[in-house]
Every structure is written in C-alpha cells, then in structure tokens.
Amino acid sequence: MRKFALSKQTMNIARTQSSLISGSFLILLAILVFMLFGFGVEGEATFRLSRPSDPYALPNLVLPAESFIGIASLTIAFFGARLIVKAPKEYSVIFAISFFLAIATFLVWATAGKSFSLTGMLQATVVRAVPIALAAMAGIMCERVAVINIGIEGMMLAGAFAGAFFGSIFGSVLGLLIAIAVGGIFGLMLALLVVTFRVDQIIAGVAINILVLGLTSFFTSHLLKKNPHLNDTAVFKSIQIPILADLPIIGPMLFRHNIFVYLAILIVFSTTFYLFKTAYGLRARAVGEHPKAAETLGISVIKTRFINVIIGGMIAGFGGAWFTLGSVGRFDEGMTGGRGFIGLAAMIFGRWHPVGALLAALVFGFADSLQQKLAILRTPIPSEFLAMAPYIVTIIVVAGIVGSARPPQAIGKAYIKEN
Amino acid sequence: MKIELKEISKSFGPVAANTKINLSVSSGEVLGLLGENGAGKTTLMNILTGLYQPDSGQILIRDQERKFYNPRDAIKNGIGMVHQHFMLVPVFSVSENVILGNEPITNVNRINKKEAREEVLKISSKYNLDVDPDELVERLPVGVQQRVEIIKILFREAELLIFDEPTAVLTPQEVLDFFRIVSNLKKSGKAIIFITHKLHEVIQICDRINVLRRGEMVGEANPKKTSNSELAELMVGRSVNLKTKRPKINRGKVLLETKNLQVMSNKKEMGLSNINLKLHENEILGIAGVQGNGQTEFIEALTGLRKISSGEISYFDKRYTNLSPRKIHKMGIKHIPEDRQKQGLINEFSIIENVVLNTYYEDAFSNNISLNWNSAKSEAARVMKQFDVRASSETIPANNLSGGNQQKLVIGREMSRKINLLIASQPTRGVDVGSIEYIHSQIISARNAGIGILLNSTELEEIIALSDRIIVFFEGKIVAELSSNTDPQIIGMAMAGVVN
C-alpha cells in the first residue's frame, strides 16, 4: 500500500526510453503521411461548412492541398524530433495534435480538387456515436458492479429487432419501450447466469450473443420475410431545437437530431450523476471494487449487481432500437455490426467513466462517418478498406491505451456469500 | 451496555467451527479473545457481526435476545468490526469509505459531501484519530487505514468494537498508537473485543482474556495474574517452548553478496535501490520491515523471479544475475516463498506432486519421458517423516493439510535436498504455535550445520528471536544494519524510516 518514488535517475531513464520510442513513432508517421499523400496531389480541397440555406451561412474552407500536406507532415516530424530531444511532459497533447494533423492530411488529400461537407461529416459523427456510446453506458453500468457484459452486442440486436417488430405493430413509441424492456430481460438473464449461478461471465455473455443472433435470424426468415408489414416501422423524426439549431456547424452537429441523440446525451450525464454523486452510485462502485467491504456494511452485493445489470441491459436495448427506430425503420440480420463490442472498447478507452466513454464513442463515430463520407468522394482506396476504419481504430486504441487503464478491482469475479 | 453470546454453535459441513461458546463483554471493558489460526475466533465474530448465522445459540444485548440476519442488523444494534483484512475501498476517499452504506443525502439521493466530511472530522477530533477525509485510502499507510476503519465503525455509533488481529500489519510504533486509541475508546465507554494470537498484547491491554481452541472456549484468564506460557498452554493444549535457543557460533565465509542491486517493481513507481549486503555461512540474516517496502522484490530478484535492472549478485564468489529460478535452485539456493498457497504449493496437487514440484526432472524421478512415481512417493514419505508433516497419506491434495503442515511440507521440500543458502520468507505466517516452535528449531539447526539463511519476516519478534544480524528495509532501501540484541524500539523506528 505504501507508495514511494523511484529514484530520479531510474525515472529519467524510463522517461527517455518511452519518449525515444514515441518520438520515432511520430517521425515514422510523418514520413508515412508524406509518402502516401504528398505525391501527385493538385488543386484545392474545399470543405463546406454550411448549406446555402442556413440562416448564418459560413464561407467554405479552402486549403491548397500540396502545401497543406507538406506543412502538416513537417509539423508532425518536428513534434517527433522534439519528443526525442526534450521529452516534454505534455506528450499526450503532442500525440493528439499529430494524429489530428495526420487525419486532416488524409482528408485534404482525399478532397483535393473536390468539395466535401465537413459539417455533414461531423453531424454523422454524432449520429454514429450514439449506438456506440449507449453500448458503452450499458457496459459501464455492468462493469462498475464488476459484471463483465460481453452480451451487449446481443442485447442491442434484440432491442433492434423488438423495436422494428413491435414498432411496426404498435407504433414507434411503444416499440421503443418494448425494445428497452427486452434489453432489460436479457440483462436479467445475464444477472441470473453470472450473479446467481456464477457462470463464467465471458461465456454467459457470448451465450447471449449467440442466442440472440439465432433467435433474430430465425424470426427474420420465418416471420418478417413473409410479412413485410411487420418489418416496416415509423422512424422517430428529427427535432430541431429552436435557435440553437440555426447556429453554424454546432447547430447541425448537435441540435438537429432525433430523440435518440438527445436521450443518449441525457443518459451519459445521468449515468455520471448516478455513479459519482448519489449514494446508490457510491454503493454500486463499492460493490465493483470490494464487494466484501460493501457486504460488511450491510449493502447487498447480489441485489446491487442485479439492479445495475438490468439497467445496463435496458440501455443496451435502447441503443439497439436506434438501429431500427432511430435510423432505417426496418430490421436486418446482424445489423448492429459489432457496435456493442466497439462500445466496450469505448468504455475501456474512456476509463469506465461515462463522459470519457462518450468522447471515445465520438472518436469511433468519427471513423465510422469518415468511411461513409469518403465512399462518396471516390478515393482510390477500395471501399472495403474504408469500411474497416472503425474497427482499425478500435484495435489501435485498445492496443495502445487499454493496458494502462484500471478496471474495477472485482471485475469478472463471482461473489460468494458465505453463511 | 452488555453483549452476551450463549451456547453459540456453527459448523461448515462436517467441520465444527464453534461449539457451544459463551462469552460476554460490557461497556468500558476490553475482552481479549485468544486462539490459534483456525480456532474459530473469526467465525465467532462473523456471527456477532451478522455475516454468518449461528446453527444454534443466542445473542443477547442488554439481556434481550437479538437475531442478526445480515450485517445491517448488527450495525443497527451497535456492533462494529475492524476486519483483519481491511474492508476499505482503495480508490475511494476516506470520507466515502466512512459513509458507505449510511450516506447522508440531500435531494435525489445525492450525497452530501460537506456533511460527510464534517462527520469524519468530528469523530476524528473527538477520539483523537488523525486523518484527512479527502485523501484516497490507497495512498494511506496501513496504520492510518486502520484509523479509517475505526472511524467507520464509530460513525455508525457502535457501542461494541471488535478488532480482528489488529496489530498484524502494524509497525511497533503504530502498535503503540493503536493501544492508545483502544484505551481512549475504553474510557469513552465503548466495549471492545480484541482478537489476537499474540500473547503479550492481550496481557498488556485486556481486562479479561478468553481462550479458544478447536472451536471451543477452553479457559478464561486474568491478565494481571497469568503468564505467556500459561496462555500458550491453554491455546495449544500442551506446554510449549516459547524461547528459541540460538547457540553462539562463529560465522563462516561469505556466501552471498549483492552490490548496488536495483530492481523495478510491478508499479513503475516503486523499486529497490542500491542494495548492498553480505550473508555468511552459519549465519541468519533477518530482514525487518513493514510489508511492501521492497522485501518481496528483493527476494524475487535473488531467486530469479524478477529481473534485475542493474547491480550484481554473487554466490560463492561467482556472479549470478538474471539466471532462471531452476538454475538458481540447482546451485543450492532454496526458497520458502512468502505465500505458501499461491507460490509454495499447487493446492490441488497431491503431496507427492508437490514434493517433486521443482525436482521432477532429475534422474531420480524422471527418465525424460515419464515420471517415476514410486521414487517420488518414497521421497514424499521421507520428507513427511523428516519434517513432521502430518497427513493421512501422501496422495491427498495439499489443500487438505492444515496451514502448519502445508508450511512444513514446503520447508521439507526445500531443506531436504542439497542446500547451501536458504531464503525464507514469512516461514511461520498463519501457522500454529506448535509448528512455529518446530520450524524455528529447523532453521536454527540448519544454521548450525553451516547453511546461510536470509530470513524475511514482518513479525519483528521472529526476526529478533532468530537473527544473528538484522537489516531493515524501508522504501526500497536498507536503512539500518543492527545486531540482534538491539532494542526492539530502535528496530521499530528504523522500520518507520527513522534512523539516527
């Protein structure tokens, strides 16, 4: 428990080594960026910031492609050299700026000689981040009480199906409520399996994924295909927030969405409030960190885990409903496309904090919307590669950052109440 | 207030942990509960705090029967316990730990942080328990964590405070602090139950002593009239030799030497810096220190379990650095690891398998394709006989043995083969008094036979009783080298980092 500092000398050695590695990495990145994008680009990249119809229209952002790419790669290389030479403390900031520049370079290269709606992409980023953020919130609710929920993907798929099916019959509002309830039922099932029967948490989650995949695929081919009217639900319309929606860039990004986006943001902030400001949240976190300590203070570990996992399932069900009720209005097999898993990565990236996970979800949402918009620009990159973008970002993030994050201490362990 | 337990019995499956136990304690009184590991002390207290329900018997508070179905019931009746392994959430602040489960709240269940903080400060000043309410518990030294536990109980307005082995993790100075706290609590009218296996402590601070053995209350003693040996006899059930005899002997040549040894720890913030020491033949070198001051890292470096970043180790004047544990073992350096359950034995393996765990590849037990179980079995029988490991057969799994027998098995495995240097870490942790006596005599006779022994123990008494020379670890450094007849107070100061 006692904490003490390492001798200064050893600290410096460790610092120098890591700054050498990260500095060289940035220089490599600069070379790579320049080699890939620096040759044979001509013309200007035009980024549209507003639509002409907007009340406060901004002029287009026009960048000369060749010089921008040159300057950007030089800057990244400079940062790399600085890291090697000086090992400054703020190197995560330097890293972030370098990555931003690398992505900007890529965009400028892809847009050179054409025009591209930046605001449109940012708007899509927010929309695409919604299911990922909600999956992450579901994950946080469960993992904060030390239950690993690999089954979020399945719970979302179940929510998507329930939303489409019941939405077609009873209308979208009731469909949404039933989707949430279905998510909650799968949450209850996970809780029963891992809390009561102490099944291995990973296996239980995988079982739920496979079960839902099988069930939805069965009902799709035997029910929805034959009765197309049962797979045709009304979609929630977008609600423009007065005044705010007219703001340039921010308006379309944040205030011209349907109810899913607004509720998702609300869920993120209420989860934060619940976990870190309320007594119930304190107890939930205690159960995730040191269940025995919670038990000795009269807190029921079992009950706390059940409640939080069920709420987590309901959030996942809500996130699943986005795919059908908030987006396309119909259910397709496997339509969640791994967003539940990416949500888990966002949760870890965000260090089990709802706001952190939301920001992480935006990173993934950005990658997702980028691939979608780039497909329109007709770059020489095959569209299959572009579609990989969100998953590649996931791998990089998980490999690079996750090692240092600290999960709740009791995670994955069943609690055995002795008596 | 008077709390009474009447005829309490509790068994886990076929094992009777408590049999018809009677006990009572009143306000302003310190009751000592003495017993060996596994005597049923903790079970009894878990019944009193509502974690377990008794099979039969009654709990009376102010002469009225109460039933505790869960810890909350016990808390409501004014009973609180400081567990041996603290029940604190390391990543929570002090005040969060204190209020957990009884949070002061405002609207929508929101925690009133200000009130929580003030409550902590109020209790802390009333009972003289100095602590910063905003600090994270994981950043606090163990002694302060214990204060947090006490505040936690007092916050719930406990009238009876139970301490389970409270001094096991404390430095001698912290123990004195703790005794002062206990007498303060007693003066303010609290009832206290003090659980321990350390004899002099109960004599020092208790008003009455109850002794448990094998789940039964075997006697009551008056601390003013009793003696260590009388209590030990009650505890063990036979007379015990408490004094270890260590005949004077001249030490031989240098066996092990480390020069400027540096080691990284698991968290990169901790480490081991510039360790220089010499260990001779016929010598026991004791490592004193509060747990977590680099002793574990040091021993792992010596035994090949942890990478050495710089510096060197020599053995018989030959350098060995970053060799594999097997090579080190083969050179005659044997290791009794600090945690027999996790490092010393494979719990599910039989005694035979555990005995050949680090020698199975030798010609005696293997022909390189299959194991020779017959010779392994006879080796196990030999170790069991020579080192007094009591078990019904060699084929039972290690986790069926008692703690003392498990430890003797590990010691037997290491000491029954070619050995020049023994690295013994916590050799008697959680072991009954009878086994301690035996293990100590084995270590002394090994030393007399010419073996060099590096003894790491957090029990200062053990270090003083066995060591020829003592070094003190603090924050990854050797802060003092002392002779074995140094005043324990001075060693204790060094363990807290205070060196003149």
Tens of pLDDT, residues B260-278: 998 887 766 557 888 999 9
Tokens of A208: 């739920």
Q: Please tell me which residue, B291 or B375, carries the higher pLDDT value.
A: B375
Query: A253 and A353, same structural domain?
Result: yes
Handedness of CA B243, B246, B248, B251 (dihedral sign): negative
Nearest-angstrom CA–CA distance, B87 and B146: 10
A2 closest CB neighbour out of B51, B75, B293: B293
In a domain, B500, yes or no: no
Q: State residue A293's pLDDT score.
A: 94
- The residue type of A56 is Y
Could you count the other beta carbons within 10 Å of the beta carbon of residue B373? 12
Q: How does the average pLDDT of chain B come out, rounded?
A: 90
How far is the C-alpha of A381 from the C-alpha of A45, rounded, in Å?
18
- Is the pLDDT at A3 greater than 60? The verdict is no
Whole-number pLDDT of residue A234: 92
Q: Identify the residue among B51, B87, B91, B100 best suited for mutation to test binding to A, counting A beta carbons within 10 A and taking the highest.
A: B100
Between chains, do B75 and A1 touch, taking CB under 8 Å as contact?
no
pLDDT at B350: 94
Residue A402 confidence class, pLDDT cut points 50, 70, 90: low
What is the full DSSP assignment across A183-249?
A: HHHHHHHHHIIIIIS---HHHHHHHHHHHHHHHHHHHIIIIITT-GGGG-PPPPPPEEPTTGGGSTT
Name the token pair of B141: 């030294």
Q: What is the DSSP letter of B244?
A: P
Q: Do B51 and A296 touch (CB under 8 A)?
A: yes
Please state which of the ranges A165-174, A185-194, B174-183 shows the lowest mean pLDDT: B174-183
Q: Within a domain: residue A186?
A: yes
Inter-chain touch B103–A282, beta carbons under 8 Å: yes
Shortest distance, CA A280 to any CA of chain B (angstroms): 7
Confidence (pLDDT) at B265? 78
At A179-204, the pLDDT tens digits run 999 999 999 999 999 999 999 999 99
| Pairwise CB contact (< 8 Å): B51 & A298 | no
What was the pLDDT predicted at A224? 93
Contact check, Cβ <8 Å, B96/A282: yes
Residue B248 within any structural domain of the chain: no
**Residue A363 resides in a domain:** yes
Domain match, A276 and A303 both: yes
Residue B418 lies in a domain: yes
Percent of chain B with pLDDT over 90: 59
Yes or no, beta carbons of A419 and B475 under 8 Å apart: no
- The rounded Cα B284 to chain-centroid distance in angstroms is 21
CA A246 to chain centre: 27
- B269·A3 Cβ contact <8 A: yes
What mean pLDDT is predicted for residues A8-25? 66
pLDDT for residue A4 is more than 50: no
Nearest to A297 among B71, B269, B290 (CB): B71
Determine, for residues B271 and A299 on separate chains, whether the beta-carbon distance falls below 8 Å: no
- Domain of residue B163, CATH code: 3.40.50.300
A363 in the same domain as A238: yes
Of B89, B100, B475, the CB nearest to A4: B475
Rounded Cα distance between B381 and B360, Å, is 15
Domain boundary among B236, B263, B285: B236
Are A214 and A160 members of one domain? Answer: yes
A395: confidence class by pLDDT, cuts 50, 70, 90: confident
Does B353 fall in a domain?
yes
User: Rounded to whole angstroms, how far apart are CA atoms B151 and B184?
Assistant: 13
Strand order across the beta sheet in which A115-117 lies? A61-64, A44-48, A115-117
**B247 inside domain:** no
The confidence band for A418, taking pLDDT boundaries of 50, 70 and 90, is: low
**H or E, element range at B75:** helix B71-76
CB contact under 8 A, A419 and B51: yes
Domain shared by B351 and B473, yes or no? yes
- CB burial of A334-367 (b: ≥16 within 10 Å; e: otherwise) equals ebbbebbbbbbbbbbbbbbbbebbbbbbbbbbbb
Is B475 in Cβ contact with A294 (below 8 Å)?
Answer: no
**Do B126 and B157 reside in the same domain of the chain?**
yes
A60: containing domain = 2-113
Minimal Cα–Cα distance from B101 to chain A, Å?
Answer: 6
> Where is pLDDT greater, at B411 or A17?
B411
Q: Is residue A127 in a domain?
A: yes
Closest C-alpha to B189, from B79, B26, B63, B77:
B26
The confidence band for A6, taking pLDDT boundaries of 50, 70 and 90, is very low
Same domain, A55 and A132: no
pLDDT at A11 > cutoff 50: no
B139–A3: do the CB atoms touch at under 8 Å?
yes
End position of a domain, from candidates B204, B236, B268: B236
Secondary structure of residue B273 in the 3-state scheme: strand
- Count up the domains in chain B and report the number: 2
What's the pLDDT band for A58 if we cut at 50, 70, 90? confident
Q: How far is B138 from chain A (nearest CA, A)?
A: 6
Q: Which of chain A's residues have a Cβ under 8 Å away from the Cβ of B13? A: none
Q: Which residue of A has its CA nearest to B53?
A: A419
In a domain, A413, yes or no: no
The verdict on pTM exceeding 0.80 is: yes
Q: Is the pLDDT of residue B242 over 80?
A: no
Are residues A179 and A80 part of one domain?
no
Contacts A300 to B, Cβ<8 Å = 70
Both B209 and B311 in one domain: the answer is no
pLDDT higher for B242 or B66? B66
Q: How far apart are CA B135 and CA B93, in angstroms?
A: 5
Q: Which pLDDT value is given to residue A419?
A: 60
* B327 exposure class (CB count in 10 Å sphere: 0-12, 13-18, 19+): exposed
**Structural domains of chain A, count:** 2
**Contact present, B33 and B39 (Cβ < 8 Å):** no
| Cα–Cα distance, A353 to A137 (Å, whole number) | 9
A94 and A137 part of one domain: no
Pair (B124, B268) in one structural domain: no
CB contact under 8 A, B268 and A295: no
Instruction: Establish if B419 belongs to a structural domain.
Output: yes
| Pair B216, B186 in one domain | yes
- The identity of residue A19, as a single letter, is S
- Check whether residue B433 and residue B290 sit in a common domain: yes
Q: Are residues B232 and B260 in the same domain?
A: no
On whether residue A342 sits in a domain, the answer given is yes
pLDDT digits 0-9 by tens, A299-314: 999 999 999 999 999 9
Q: Is the pLDDT of residue A401 over 70?
A: no
**Residue A40 shares a structural domain with residue A154:** no
Name the interface residues of A facing B (CB cutoff 8 Å). 1-7, 10, 14, 273, 277-280, 282-283, 285-286, 289-290, 292-300, 409, 418-419
Chain A nearest-CA residue for B70: A298
Domain harbouring A320, CATH code: 1.10.3470
| Domain-located, residue A403 | no
Q: For residue range B77-87, what is the model confidence (pLDDT) as tens digits? A: 999 999 888 99
| B98 alpha-carbon distance from chain centroid | 25
Last residue of a domain, one of A88, A113, A138: A113
Same domain for A204 and A292?
yes
Same domain membership, residue B296 and residue B162 = no
Contact flag B109-A286 (C-beta cutoff 8 Å) = no
Query: Does residue A39 fall inside a structural domain?
Result: yes
Q: Are residues B201 and B263 in the same domain?
A: no
Q: In what order do the strands lie in the sheet with B477-483?
A: B333-336, B421-425, B452-456, B284-288, B469-474, B477-483
What integer pLDDT is reported at residue B38 of this predicted model?
Answer: 73
Q: Which of A4, A289, A298 lies at the smallest CB-CB distance from B70? A: A298
How much of chain B, in percent, has pLDDT values that exceed 70?
99
Cα distance from A207 to chain B (closest Cα, Å)?
A: 29
Residues A101 and A153 in one domain: no
Same domain (yes/no): B13, B69? yes
Candidate from B87, B105, B309 with C-beta closest to A290: B87
Among A100-104, A245-249, B49-53, B270-274, the range with the most confident prediction by mean pLDDT is B49-53
pLDDT at A336: 94
**Does residue A48 surpass a pLDDT of 70?**
yes
pLDDT confidence of residue A136: 97
The tally of CA atoms less than 13 A away on the side-chain side of residue A19 is 19
Asked whether the beta carbons of B439 and B387 are under 8 A apart, the reply is: no
In chain B, which residue's Cα lies nearest the Cα of A273? Answer: B110
pLDDT of residue B258: 93
The answer to whether residue B246 is domain-embedded is no
> A101 and A149: one domain?
no
- Checking if the pLDDT of B107 tops 90, the result is no
> In terms of domains, do A106 and A223 share one?
no
Mean of the pLDDT values across residues B391-411?
Answer: 87
Average pLDDT of every residue of chain A: 88
Nearest chain B residue (CA) to A10: B264
Residue B197 sits in the same domain as residue B150:
yes
Contact between B108 and A299 using a beta-carbon 8 Å cutoff: no
pLDDT at A372: 81
Say what the pLDDT of residue A1 is: 34
Q: Which residues of A touch B83 (CB under 8 A)?
A: 296
Residue ranges making up the domain that contains B84: 2-236
Lowest mean pLDDT among B176-185, B226-235, B241-250: B241-250
Query: Residue B146: which of B112, B104, B179, B99 has the closest Cα?
Result: B179
From the list B100, B152, B292, the residue facing A282 with the nearest CB is B100
Q: Which of A104-113, A304-313, B291-300 has the highest mean pLDDT?
A: A304-313
- Does the pLDDT value for residue A396 go beyond 80? no
Domain-embedded: residue B242: no
The proportion of chain A whose per-residue pLDDT surpasses 90, expressed as a percent, equals: 55
Residue of chain B whose alpha carbon sits nearest to that of A286: B89
CB contact under 8 A, A2 and B141: yes
Highest mean pLDDT among A187-201, A229-243, A381-395, B196-210: A187-201
Residue A14 lies in a domain: yes
pLDDT of the residue at A110: 85
Is a pLDDT exceeding 80 seen at residue B241? no
Q: How many CB pairs under 8 A join A and B?
A: 110
B173 and B56 fall within a common domain: yes
Phi, then psi, of B163 in degrees rounded to 5: -115, 120
Concatenate the DSSP letters of all residues of B409-451 into one string.
HHHHHHHTSS-SEEEEESTTTT--HHHHHHHHHHHHHHHHTT-
Per-residue pLDDT at A27 exceeds 60: yes
